[in-house]
């Protein structure tokens, strides 16, 4: 299960690692290539046919950030297969294709759609479960008890990085990496696009998981300084 990122790690590591970064001077990421496996290509085609270019670019950015962060900050982890990391990143917002498709919080809807997609394409239940579990937990960043998978933690960190540009999280990644990734997969319009989706989610599902992230969520997205 290690190749699927299913090793348990304490949820408090999310906050602890932000204040105690293993490598405060990470190297630049030179490899911006994307996995070229059959499932990688099918998943990329699937998300491109269902999601906006803003969401697709965001998803590719977080994959590349995940690659950089794992290589620099979590060298002691058992290797996570890059295809697993890529398809999880691509699918984590698949619920955005139609917020009103389900009354489930989009995080849970995304997890279910993703698990079904992976299982349908691979027949591998462990693979499908690993991806679904990670995506279902992407919004639970304020928990300070219990455990999460390594795949789930790296998804949380990269989503926070790309959506909020937190200075504490951006220190995980070399500034040149941030620039080169954003140049290759532009973030232009992402903040406003995401804020509009969050507004729709909160209006249609006021009970949803997104409501637990605080009233200032929208403003924090719009005011991030990570990208111009």
Q: Along the 228 residues of the chain, how does pLDDT read in single tens digits?
A: 788 999 988 775 555 555 555 666 777 888 899 999 999 999 999 999 999 999 999 999 999 999 999 998 888 899 999 999 999 999 999 999 999 989 999 999 999 999 999 999 999 999 999 999 999 998 877 677 788 999 999 999 899 889 987 665 667 788 889 889 999 999 988 999 999 999 999 999 999 988 887 777 888 888 876 765
The CATH class for the domain spanning 2-12+38-222 reads mainly alpha
Q: What are phi and psi of 147, to 5 degrees?
A: -135, 165
- The whole-number pLDDT of residue 188 equals 84
**Which pLDDT belongs to residue 121?**
98
Confidence (pLDDT) at 2: 81
What per-residue confidence (pLDDT) applies to 226?
72
Contacts of 171 (CB under 8 A, 6+ apart): 21, 24
Question: pTM for this structure?
Answer: 0.92
> CA separation (Å) from 174 to 30, 82, 113, 135?
11, 20, 33, 26
- Which pLDDT score, from 0 to 100, does residue 100 have? 94
Any idea where the domains of the chain sit in the sequence?
2-12+38-222
Taking CA atoms, 111 is separated from 53, 115, 166, 186, 191, in Å, by: 20, 6, 25, 25, 23
pLDDT at position 73, please?
85
């Amino acid at each position: 299960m290690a190749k699927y990122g299913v090793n348990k790690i304490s949820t408090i590591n999310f906050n602890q690692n932000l204040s105690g970064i293993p490598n405060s001077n990470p190297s630049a990421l030179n490899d911006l290539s994307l996995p070229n496996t059959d499932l990688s290509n099918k998943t990329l085609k699937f998300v491109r046919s269902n999601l906006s270019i803003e969401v697709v670019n965001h998803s590719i950015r977080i994959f590349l950030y995940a690659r950089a962060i794992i290589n620099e900050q979590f060298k002691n982890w058992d290797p996570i297969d890059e295809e697993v990391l890529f398809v999880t990143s691509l699918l984590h917002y698949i619920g955005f294709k139609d917020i009103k498709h389900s009354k489930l919080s989009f995080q849970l809807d995304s997890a279910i759609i993703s698990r079904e997609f992976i299982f349908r394409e691979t027949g591998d239940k462990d693979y499908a479960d690993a991806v679904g579990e990670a995506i279902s937990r992407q919004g639970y960043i304020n928990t300070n008890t219990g455990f999460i998978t390594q795949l789930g933690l790296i998804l949380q960190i990269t989503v926070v990085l790309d959506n909020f540009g937190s200075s504490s999280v951006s220190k995980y990644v070399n500034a040149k990496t941030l620039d080169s990734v954003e140049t290759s997969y532009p973030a232009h319009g992402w903040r406003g696009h995401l804020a509009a989706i969050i507004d729709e989610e909160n209006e249609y599902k006021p009970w949803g998981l997104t409501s637990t992230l605080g009233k200032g969520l929208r403003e924090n997205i719009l005011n991030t300084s990570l990208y111009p």
